[in-house]
Amino acid sequence: MRYVAGILSGSLVFCSFAMGQTTKPADTIQLKPIQVAPHTYFVRGFPEMGSSANQNFISNAGFVVTPGGVVVVDALGSPILAQKLIAEIRKITNQKIVALIVSHYHADHVYGLQEFKKIGAKIYAQGEGRNYLSSETAKQRLIASRIDFAPWVNANTKLIAADVWINRESKLRVGGVDFFISRVGPAHAPEDLMVYVPSEKVLFAGDLVFRGRIPFVGNADSKGWLIALDEIARLKPNIVIPGHGNYSVNPAEDIRFTKNYLQYLRNSMAKAAINMDPFEEAYQQADWSEYEGMPLFRAANRMNAYYVYLSIQAE
């Protein structure tokens, strides 16, 4: 038996292989589309870190059924999940899946893209995504994911470029339904897009909005993210489908949660960052009681604070 080390959230993860084969875990993950508007559905990822056990099903994806075809937003975190999403869509409608819009090029949202490409869907994404696809970060993340999420992400999993790169506000019209696609990055990612469907009064917010768990900040532009949240609030959608967590029927409240968390990170880290005081002291002095009981607090909060500390120094 041999062991291969992978990197997940800064720690080493060891996966065992016997005679060159992984022990394939049982496939127990089911996707259950939830209808949130007359023609709009979404599937909800788990509030967990990605793993082989959950097939990297930690983010949401959604779709809108129109008379001219189905438009999907985000492709989920592994090819197997994308296959399951395609199967669920086909249970709901005979319409062909004609388009997929990428909210941003993070692994949990794009490793399923190849499955939509195979069935002929046209892929749309923001132009800055090209920089990620050609980066060493993307290459190394995929190498690690082929270990961490094996066998669901493996040597056959590829990074897929968009067919259409969007560099300004655009309108996609399918079956008489308008999809307004806006760039709101750099925020959570440099290539953030949000998708508003006025006829459904639904906004697909990607990872600009988190619900029911600690947001993942990473190396985000927290200042730009706060501005993006103000843009979302001005749209006043009836329903927001976030990148993580349940859909929101009270968007103002959930936008406020993400905004307050980001603002608190900045406020608690700003003085130490500007004065070049040690990060650890600033982190220990901050009061995290409002957030420490939430899912993924232990996994993400310290890292979020550290990245914001560094980003304020670079501003």
Q: Does residue 9 register a pLDDT over 50?
A: no
Mean pLDDT of 279-297: 97
Mean pLDDT of 20-42: 87
The per-residue pLDDT of the chain, averaged, comes to: 92
pLDDT of residue 14: 36
Mean pLDDT of 286-300: 96
User: Is CATH 3.60.15.10 the classification given to domain 2-217+236-249?
Assistant: yes
Helix (H) or strand (E) holding 41: strand 40-43
Residues 6+ apart with CB under 8 A from 279: 269, 272, 305, 306, 309
pLDDT of residue 55: 98
Q: Does residue 233 register a pLDDT over 70?
A: yes
Helix, strand, or coil (residue 307)? helix
Q: Which residues pair with 68 in a beta bridge?
A: none
pLDDT-based confidence at 25, cuts 50/70/90? confident
pLDDT of residue 8: 38
For the chain, domain boundaries = 2-217+236-249
Nearest Cα to 119, choosing from 70, 77, 78? 70
Q: Does residue 22 register a pLDDT over 60?
A: no
pLDDT of residue 26: 84
- Helix pair 222-235, 251-275: axis angle to 10 deg: 160
pLDDT-based confidence at 23, cuts 50/70/90? low
Q: Which of 7-16, 98-107, 211-220 has the lowest mean pLDDT?
A: 7-16
Q: Does residue 6 register a pLDDT over 50?
A: no
Nearest Cα to 62, choosing from 17, 91, 31, 23? 31
C-alpha torsion sign, points 123, 127, 128, 131: positive
Whole-model pTM: value is 0.90
Q: Does residue 127 register a pLDDT over 80?
A: yes
